[in-house]
Structure 1
Amino acid sequence: MDHSGDIDNVFAHYQERVSGFVFDDKVASVFDDMIRRSVPGYATVLGMVHVFAEHFAQPNSNCYDLGCSLGGGTIAMLRGIKQSGCKVIAIDNSPAMLARCEQILQNEKSKTDVQLVEADVADMTFENASVVVCNYTLQFLDTTGREELIERIYEGMLPGGVLILSEKIKFENTQEQEFFTDIYHDFKRLQGYSDLEISQKRKALENVLVPDSTETHLQRLKNAGFSRIHQWFQCVNFVSFAAFK
């Protein structure tokens, strides 16, 4: 899936004051490169969204991509859906991301309808959903609203529907947290990021990206009513769950 954006150098130059991370035009233009070099296993997760959509999209149902950014999950679903009458609803609150997403989607030839919605996923209600993809989105929401969002997703799902929830996680054990942080930073260096870029981006994401532990995610999914939950993926401090109604 080549979205041929620019190379990510958003944090390459020294900034006197690093402000909070925002999904603006500058980030949108490099986001494809940024996420591939910042999220270990990202391509695998997208490949599996294709597989999940192929297996679990139900006829005449809605498939949601929450916090769709440039539409990686949307495209994976469009390519995977085999059932007729499905619609993919891609939601993001960044106009810059959605504008670029719309351009990218023009290259996709699919029988499945797509609707782009500019909104905060925390304000959305869901209906008739068979596949919901929430890739690295929950971690950016206010912690107090996360439980309610997962509950609303569950309520709007069809029996047999699946939620794919991918997130960066934290570890309760300090030694474990330090180990994963260190090897994650090594991964980023391997992707060509400098120590300056790593530290400035980390500062920009402080209090913007707030990860939960695996235990918190599992408990939240159970509380919402999901009866069967599989952690099907982990690479360093990034995981993905498949939760079934």
Structure 2
Amino acid sequence: MTKPIRDFSFGEHAVTFDRHIKDSIPGYANLVSRILRDSRRFVQPHTTVYDLGCSSGRTLAKISRVNSSSRNGVRYIGIDCEPGFEPLWRKRRASGLRFETGDARVLPLENASLIIGQFIVQFIPPMDKRALLRRIHDSLVEGGAFMIAEKTLAETPRLQDAVTFSYYDYKLERGFTAEQILVKERQLRGQMTCMSEAELRGALREAGFTEMERIWGEAPFAAFLALK
């Protein structure tokens, strides 16, 4: 009998998540550095900064540290659907950050000057992706920014094949076993539905963003800065 395949749960990796994501995404530290640098430009006083899919809350805490002394009255809110991260939020709440366990598709988003979405839209069902992007756009104040990072599809099958196996080689070099790579791929099947960079740009435009720029990337991952 075939053994049932469980969906992948990031909550099960909560304690070691920060290490897990650095080992899983090439150049991840550079992405976080870029987010921190750009946050200094876009965080506005008396607005809200949201980190959607905040996981451990580490990136949100860093954004708060680099902005709190010069941007008054800013609320920093992290949202994640995995309750397994809640124990990691306790020490960060002590520094004034707020965290909520819930779904970004339904929780209130308002008066935002900066919204971070690291690898979350790829886990939203296709029928809901564009509605979420529209909600994000509409919740931003004038001049607000959305920084989105996603795993993306290549534009052709041959490119996809090259990118996929290069990525597998990277994960093997980072200490993952072939079995771990395969099991995760099977667990993510149906949970993760990616877009190509062109499709992601189109979805952002449909949501109302008229200005966007690719700010980071190492295949199969890319990040965009989209402005309202």
Question: Could you say which TM-score interval applies, normalised by the shorter chain?
Answer: over 0.9
Asked if 1:85 corresponds to 2:73, the answer is: yes
Deviation at 1:208, TM superposition (A): 1.2
Post-superposition CA distance 1:137-162 (Å, at most 9, x none): 11111111110111011111111111
One-letter amino acid of the counterpart of residue 116, structure 2: V
The amino acid of 2:218's aligned partner reads C
Letter of the 1:197 counterpart: Q
Query: In the TM superposition, what are the counterparts of 1:167-206 in structure 2 within 5 Å?
Result: 167-206=150-189
User: Out of 108, 122, 129, which is 2:105 matched to?
Assistant: 122
Q: Which residue of 2 aligns with 1:21?
A: 8
SS in 2 for 1:197: helix
Aligned residues: 225
1:16 deviates by 4.8
1:168–1:237 Cα contact (<8 Å) kept: yes
Matches within 5 A, 1:52-67: 52-67=38-53
Runs of 4+ in 1 over 3 A off after TM superposition: 15-18
Unmatched 5+ residue regions in structure 1? Answer: 1-14
Residue aligning to 2:87: 99
Instruction: Determine if contact 1:50/1:80 at 8 Å carries over to the other structure.
Output: yes
Other-structure match for 1:11: none
Match of 1:4 in 2: none
8 Å contact from structure 1 (residues 163, 243) kept in 2: yes
**1:23 positional shift:** 2.9
CA RMSD of aligned residues (A): 1.6
Q: Which runs of no fewer than 5 residues in structure 2 stay unpaired?
A: none
Task: Supply the AA of the counterpart residue of 1:19.
Answer: R
TM-score by length of 1: 0.87
* Percent of pairs with identical residues: 27
* TM norm structure 2: 0.93
- The CA distance in 1 between the partners of 2:107 and 2:38, in whole Å, is 23
Report the secondary structure of 2:30's partner residue: helix
